[in-house]
Structure 1
């Protein structure tokens, strides 16, 4: 949704109280008018974002790219506020059933933080090495713009023009930020520069035998139409010519504009910066990012202290595994051994890269067979494991997941950065596979997209603490399900978990306590076995994505807390399959609303017994 570019909203909600000695109230029937209203508004919001439509496999506005100007974001926020006013006017909250009340609350939740976020439109970085639209737009066209007809390919060509317009809009916004002395760190701009140059490297931008990524994709999709006899030779020729001209005359100038701006600003960017608190309004912005990322009211100090406690706890578990495998030496020496011994790495070759992909898929496939023992609701969508495209691949960068389409026409994709295999240890790969695949991101997001019992807008929500908290919880759950038979890989699971605990310490250290990059890197080195290249990539990620990394551990801890509560209160009546279905069966939720959902289920289960 266009209005969900700034996600999640913190709103104070009453937690509904239940009493075991009260007879259960008769459940109200769904409000059909309300759900029809949600469908209407969701469709309106989708029409504001051609890219969102494409990501869902819908070919409406297939020749367009989103308006990425500040004015468009303000217009979206105004639309959202008007919808909330309409919702409050037309529907009485107390007359709704619990599921409808949840939808109502989420709609308000989105809006409140969206309105609050308008104050910080000029603080968050426009271009950085992690989330910059300069790489996301070409990647979306290559991976999401499906071509089944002449019209689809013509729409692709038109989208090249829209991409150029969007890039120029963002350069204008970046220039405005720079005029207020708001620039990302130098390393971020240097990466943006290299990424942008890679996108316009090769044919038709240079006289070379190698095609640029976009041109290669356009030619391949045109040739596929010709091979399938969906176009003739003349139409194929016209499409190739139009693709080439659009890239040269419109796309390249936009990226040259970005490259020129980046080259101009690199000398002005700080080489050893602290976090965003150094910027005007930066401290308030960081507090806001913590709110959006954790969907809680936890302060930076509270999150920092939770991180310190978790690091200490997890290191004790690491010591147990060190002793189990008979390693003589302290934990730091064990870190060094796991970090450097060749047995824990694939060769830094194409064969080694393929072996990594194959083994990751094998772990996912084996655990997928066991899902029915732990879940009632199962995903229908398929999953593929894939290497990141060369133009956006980074040494040591974290793996990530891209959702498939709700109708299953495009599978979910677990992407892996494999340019430097020395940053990709075998010990952590099993846990990452579960995190990104099943029962992690792929399962949770696919189940959400396939839900038929909630309004469609709820099937596409992506609250950071819920989504990432679930994926991290899944890494631990996989151990219950029979994963990590190799103790070194179980150690890798703890490496992944302490990684997320360290994030709480480092993210708040950088953005709230004045840490510099070197201090954050040193804390990582002192408390984990993560490779240095991966640590550097991680810390640089936190520098440009303030708060985001805190959602993982905070979300996991909340899900674990809710599970412990349910097990304690229900005893023998606790059913792990039903608990997981309650967690996943309403789509992504802010943690406060998730807690309300689980508490309600606990009380209903008690009464039913």
Structure 2
């Protein structure tokens, strides 16, 4: 289940579009730096001076990342799209190296507060991860059915490019050309990777082709009788009409904007998508239909080890992660059997799985009414949990949350729900998206846990609190560490049980299904990428251990194949948070306060798990008698 921050970083699965990507400007201004330091050195603490430096450097990063600026609700450069070229990526890394050199030479680590030391360490950690990943540039998949600018670009313009006046709409039209440039740049990279022997599986090619065709089908690209508007053209007309209705533009200006937009769609958007489709259709003959993992690639095992490290922020090996998964699967299976027996089901767990997967009481009808029912009931679950939050958290998010169906052009049967954050100022709420094209893949008994994972007390709470922090440098409010964020999301599913959720045994079983899902990921992901498992083997294991719908299992396994290592972050992160909580309880006894523990975990933004452990340990020490 993705968050927006992860999605930004995965637009091309390349560091060229990471949320914290550094500036194009790699030149340093020693005199300005020295002057700034000299002026403040005798008046403010080392930590305050460091935070000022972070503010300057992060603003440089933001100015090189128009996409992230838009996500943050800022409109400068809202007529541009990120540079996706290899040359720009190298320039970014050089900039990061220069900032780390400046950081380590100009600040005294020992004079920093504990919070400032965390900021210092995270900044260096991000650079070291980016540097380590450079040797695997030819191993990553640029376009896949799960991630890729071919679908992300339209989603971005439709959902995140805010149009409030004439200039915003003009910027939107310019961005259409920017998208085309980015696609062209990324296609070159995909072709280079293909030549080096790195291709995603056949199903990924098919997904890219389908998604791309969806965006250039319909009006204005087709004038056939009965043709509906293409997704972007529909959005363009809607946004222009809104401006007219608000008397922000005249009818003549609206006509001119539509003409300009149509011209840009034909001049740049259509050709870039046609070129993308043409190449993928020609190269698909070189793909495999029943793929194994990335270890079959040149340098593939080292690449997977790197991806595990990046995803879990630990040094755990693939074998260790696999073994953890096997143990967790066994534990959760026992808990599942307990619930099966408690509800009086006669038969083994496999028979109970079949009952859960097929009995109509566990599904909404596959109609628009059923889809709305899913959304309405999700909102009710979230309303309940929101009432309990003050008992478990001192810091609460200010941003609102809405529940929506995924747009038709990118919706996939059985694909995982996901969350997109709002803006830091709350002007745009966070959104929990659900794929509702096939309601038979969206069981009622699992939806409650998913709502808590994606909404509150999960991603919405964690990311909104991070974005709203004023006690840490801004770069930390936007940092993304998957083990932390997804670990928290999975922890939130269990926490909700302590908060009074899952009153029905079947919903609690659904919570266990969701947890089993993440435990199976540890086994399947490492199986695919280090043990030679095929897609068929991975699907068979999933079917044996969970009652998840076959469409969802297929979508999941194919996700792991194109995003190696990412799926391991959820359970590893959850287990770490639970271990830290238990350790704090043991150390503090009656002094342990769940609200303060949660505020400690969430109050510093996302961070590597080792740094989170240090933060929690510092909090525990502060609660001890003096």
TM-score (norm 2): 0.93
Q: Structure 1 residue 329 and structure 2 residue 347: aligned?
A: yes
* Contact 1:275-1:543 within 8 A present in 2 as well: yes
**Structural mapping, 1:385-400, within 5 Å:** 385-400=403-418
Counterpart residue number, 2:35: none
Counterpart residue number, 1:21: none
* Contact 1:387-1:418 within 8 A present in 2 as well: yes
Q: For residues 310-351 of structure 1, what are the alpha-carbon distances to aligned partners after superposition, in whole Å with 9 as ceiling and x for unaligned?
A: 000000000110011000111111001001100000000010
Distance (whole Å) between structure 2 residues aligned to residue 4 and residue 446 of structure 1:
25
Q: What displacement does 1:133 show?
A: 1.3
Distance (whole Å) between structure 2 residues aligned to residue 8 and residue 471 of structure 1:
22
Match of 2:378 among 349, 360, 371: 360
Match of 1:83 among 92, 99, 117: 99
Match of 2:560 among 526, 530, 542: 542
Q: Structure 1 residue 123 and structure 2 residue 154: aligned?
A: no
Distance (whole Å) between structure 2 residues aligned to residue 489 and residue 30 of structure 1:
51
Q: For residues 87-131 of structure 1, what are the alpha-carbon distances to aligned partners after superposition, in whole Å with 9 as ceiling and x for unaligned?
A: 011101111111111100000000001101111111110000111
Counterpart residue number, 1:229: 247
Counterpart residue number, 1:39: 55
Counterpart residue number, 1:420: 438
SS in 2 for 1:270: coil
Distance (whole Å) between structure 2 residues aligned to residue 347 and residue 497 of structure 1:
26
Q: For residues 415-456 of structure 1, what are the alpha-carbon distances to aligned partners after superposition, in whole Å with 9 as ceiling and x for unaligned?
A: 000011110000100000000000000000000000010000
Counterpart residue number, 2:67: 51
Q: What displacement does 1:356 show?
A: 0.4
Counterpart residue number, 2:25: none
Q: Structure 1 residue 505 and structure 2 residue 560: aligned?
A: no
Match of 1:170 among 176, 186, 211: 186
**Structural mapping, 1:241-320, within 5 Å:** 241-320=259-338
Distance (whole Å) between structure 2 residues aligned to residue 375 and residue 30 of structure 1:
31
* Contact 1:384-1:411 within 8 A present in 2 as well: yes
Match of 1:203 among 219, 222, 236: 219
Q: What displacement does 1:7 show?
A: 8.2
Q: What displacement does 1:70 show?
A: 1.4
Distance (whole Å) between structure 2 residues aligned to residue 592 and residue 569 of structure 1:
19
Q: What displacement does 1:4 show?
A: 8.0
* Contact 1:294-1:554 within 8 A present in 2 as well: yes
SS in 2 for 1:31: helix
* Contact 1:128-1:184 within 8 A present in 2 as well: yes
Match of 2:400 among 362, 382, 407: 382
Q: For residues 535-564 of structure 1, what are the alpha-carbon distances to aligned partners after superposition, in whole Å with 9 as ceiling and x for unaligned?
A: 010000000000000000000000000000
SS in 2 for 1:447: helix
Q: Structure 1 residue 181 and structure 2 residue 197: aligned?
A: yes
Distance (whole Å) between structure 2 residues aligned to residue 415 and residue 122 of structure 1:
32
* Contact 1:293-1:465 within 8 A present in 2 as well: yes
Counterpart residue number, 1:528: 546
* Contact 2:401-2:429 within 8 A present in 1 as well: yes
Computed over aligned residues only, the root mean square deviation of the Cα atoms, in angstroms, reads 1.4
Mark the runs of 5 or more structure 2 residues left unpaired by the alignment.
Answer: 1-7, 10-14, 22-43
* Contact 1:7-1:114 within 8 A present in 2 as well: no
Q: What displacement does 1:31 show?
A: 2.0
Q: Structure 1 residue 63 and structure 2 residue 79: aligned?
A: yes
Counterpart residue number, 1:148: 164
Distance (whole Å) between structure 2 residues aligned to residue 206 and residue 83 of structure 1:
50
TM-score (norm 1): 0.95
Q: For residues 375-432 of structure 1, what are the alpha-carbon distances to aligned partners after superposition, in whole Å with 9 as ceiling and x for unaligned?
A: 0000000000000010100000000000110011110000000011110000100000
Distance (whole Å) between structure 2 residues aligned to residue 547 and residue 195 of structure 1:
24
* Contact 1:145-1:156 within 8 A present in 2 as well: yes
Counterpart residue number, 1:432: 450
Mark the runs of 5 or more structure 1 residues left unpaired by the alignment.
Answer: 10-27
* Contact 2:46-2:111 within 8 A present in 1 as well: no
Number of aligned pairs?
590
Match of 2:511 among 493, 499, 520: 493
SS in 1 for 2:500: coil
Match of 1:573 among 591, 597, 604: 591
Distance 1:4 1:86, change over 3 A: farther
* Contact 2:459-2:489 within 8 A present in 1 as well: yes
Q: For residues 166-205 of structure 1, what are the alpha-carbon distances to aligned partners after superposition, in whole Å with 9 as ceiling and x for unaligned?
A: 0111111111111112110001100110010001111111
Q: What displacement does 1:607 show?
A: 3.2
Counterpart residue number, 1:404: 422
Distance 1:521 1:7, change over 3 A: farther
* Contact 1:7-1:110 within 8 A present in 2 as well: no
